[in-house]
A and B are shown apart, each in its own frame.
Chain A
Amino acid sequence: MVIDQDAMRHLSEAQVSVELATEDMTLNIGPQHPSTHGVLRLVARVDGERAYDVKPVIGYMHRGYEKLSEVRTYPQITALINRIDWVSGYANEVPFIVAAEKLMELEVPQRAQYIRLILTEMARISSHLVFMASYPLELGAATPLFFALRERERVLDLLEGVTGGRFHPNFNRIGGVKPNAGAGPTTRKTPQDLPAGFLNDTRDAMDKVLEVCDEIEDLVAGNEIILARTKGIGILPPEVAAAYGVSGPNLRASGVAFDLRKVENYLPYEDFDFSVVTGENGDCWDRWWVRLEEIRESAKIIQQAIDGMPPSGTLQAKVPKIIKVPAGETYVRAENPKGEMGYYLVSDGGLGPYRLKIRSASFSNISILPWILEGILVPDIIAIMGSLDFVLGDVDR
């Protein structure tokens, strides 16, 4: 039998090139899904195990705060903007109040600034502790949640003791802070201050927070499953992060040592010694690790602020009873737990802003999703989304 070599070769080539036909599938995640931190919807084209053309669909929680603030007075607006990023409601207030104070050219008492700073860092700790709780949960580890939320509750109790609110403190006033909610009925003559024992309780709470950081690190950092799910996954190069406006811990995890607390002067951070934590690879693991370290840095800042707390005195600059902000415009940005939060305030000298542009961190942070999720394994979608630590209230405003 004569074998036709050419025909055989063609036959074998035909055999190796036969592949099972795959059909693209459209996968919908959310808007009601535990890993979406609110109501985010993702539509992905799935080819086998990989996702392509991921389209985030947002707006399910759009509340129109920019329009609403045009019909509110300045003191009313803090109640609105508390609800932008509700995991760290207090931190949202500060840049707006500072913007209004800038236009009014007010000198805020040092003690009020220190109280603002302590509460902002508490908001950061509680926000990052929510991440420490939820992120391992999304990867299948339930235990860290109990450790993290236990200490978060301690921090929130202290925040509530001062402000009267756990999530929506509404505590800042233009020119200072609200008289202490924990001191009973306010009278005009007596100066109001922090609740009795607050500073000591806070110092103790920060020791506990530092302890729980060690516990969480022991629990998570040695866990091989978590390491396998996060190391080298979802790498975000710094130049891509910058072009998309990704800020905060997500940016620092990519190795950029940039922290608005170091370069802007919205609160007296220059009085304190703390370091800017950066990651090396910009993967999910670095984003987790940067936040853990930031909790430790924040606890140190609070302890220093307690030691250096200016003596009791007025907590409020002199302002008219009816607050009108002089005409002008300015942009004030702050390092919030989620990243750069800023307000572009345009005033016409009236009782409320003419225009208030709200720059929220999570909005820009998740605009990276179509880029970072391209060609990713489907289970990694959850790991990457969780590591970006966004809140839908902060996305939708």
Chain B
Amino acid sequence: MTSSPSETEAAEVTEHPLQGFADAVAEAVEGTAEIHFDTVKVTVPADRWLDTHSVARDELDLVFFSWLSAIDWSNEVAAGDPLSDEVEERIELMTTVGDLTEGKRVTFSTTLDKASPSIPTLIGVYAGANWHEREAAEMFGIDFEGHPELVHLYLPNGFIGNPLRKSYPLLSREVKPWPGTVDVEAMPEKEEPSTENPEA
């Protein structure tokens, strides 16, 4: 991984105020940077996950651990609307860390294998990752290697399944459909902007 992909992207888009910062982070952690609507997202390979966060904390001064969570990119969904385009089946693991002076923040992202997602724990770098990893473990079935207490956080003991996986049905909805018309009837397609009161 080099910083070249982010440089070619920067040439295509008009220079974003955060572009310099994004490139600096990408270079320091050897990842690729993108800017999504004022959110700097740096993608790194899974085997550099731990190093990335060490560098972020020690060299980039991103000392504040905001959150860790995941996205289940899935073509088959048991709850909610399916994706419009086919994607590569994967678990995307993300963290957001920031500084405590200028308000800079980075969202780090890495890709995990869906069948057996596994990655080293970040507790040694950010102690606050403990609960976030427990939550991600029970909700997505991710194994955080070296985590001292990877037991259920929210879910009761003995709960089977990983509720935030897209393959997990929303059971209350299975038993009783949502009564609103929005869900059970096809929505009329009307795209033009309306000047009328949207509440009406």
Binding site for B on A (CB under 8 A): 58-59, 62, 64, 66-68, 70-71, 73, 76, 102-103, 173, 175, 178-179, 186, 188, 238-240, 242-247, 251, 256, 258, 260, 262-264, 316, 318-322, 327-331, 333, 340, 342, 344, 346, 348-352, 354-355, 357, 359, 363-364, 367-368, 371, 396
Contacts and interface: CB of A to CB of B under 8 A. Distances in A.
B65 A179 contact: no
Given A67-B79, A67-B170, A318-B193, A240 B164 contact: no
B137 to A, nearest CB: 14
Contact of B127 (A328, A329, A371): A371
17 contacts: A71-B79, A71-B80, A175-B198, A178-B199, A240-B127, A244-B127, A245-B64, A246-B128, A262-B103, A318-B194, A321-B194, A331-B96, A344-B96, A354-B83, A355-B71, A357-B67, A371-B127
A316 B198 contact: yes
Contact of B154 (A62, A364, A367, A371): A62
A352 B36 CA distance: 19
A359 B80 contact: no
Interface string B139-181: 1000000000000111110000001100010100100001010
B39 A258 contact: no
B71 A320 contact: no
Nearest to B40: A331
Given A59-B154, A330-B38, A321 B198 contact: yes
B198 A71 contact: no
A348 B128 contact: no
B39 A330 contact: yes
B154 A58 contact: yes
A242 B65 contact: yes
B194 to A, nearest CB: 5
Contacts of B36: 328-330
Nearest to A348: B83
Given A179-B199, A328-B36, A330-B37, A245 B65 contact: yes
Given A68-B170, A244-B128, A260-B103, A352 B80 contact: yes
Given A188-B197, A242-B65, A260-B103, 10 more contacts: A58-B153, A58-B154, A76-B180, A179-B197, A242-B64, A245-B128, A251-B100, A264-B103, A320-B192, A354-B83
A344 B94 contact: yes
The DSSP consensus for interface residues of chain A is mixed
B83 A367 contact: no
A243 B63 contact: yes
A70 B67 CA distance: 20
A318 B163 contact: no
Contacts of B189: 322
Nearest to B62: A242
Interface in B24-48: 36-39, 41
Contacts, number: 163
B37 A322 contact: no
A350 B127 contact: no
B80 A354 contact: yes
Contacts of B80: 70-71, 352, 354
B84 A348 contact: yes
Contacts of A186: 197, 199-200
B111 interface: no
Contacts of B139: 66
Nearest to A239: B63
Interface in B89-134: 94, 96, 100-103, 105, 107, 126-128, 130-131
A71 B131 contact: no
A245 B100 contact: no
A359 to B, nearest CB: 4
Contact of A66 (B64, B101, B152, B164): B164
A319 B71 contact: no
A175 B154 CA distance: 34
Contacts of B105: 331, 333
B128 A364 contact: yes
A218 to B, nearest CB: 33
A277 to B, nearest CB: 15
A263 B100 CA distance: 10
B164 A342 contact: no
Contact of A351 (B173, B187, B198): B187
Nearest to A262: B103
Tell me which of A242, A251, A258, A262 has the highest count of chain B C-beta atoms within 10 A of its own C-beta.
A242
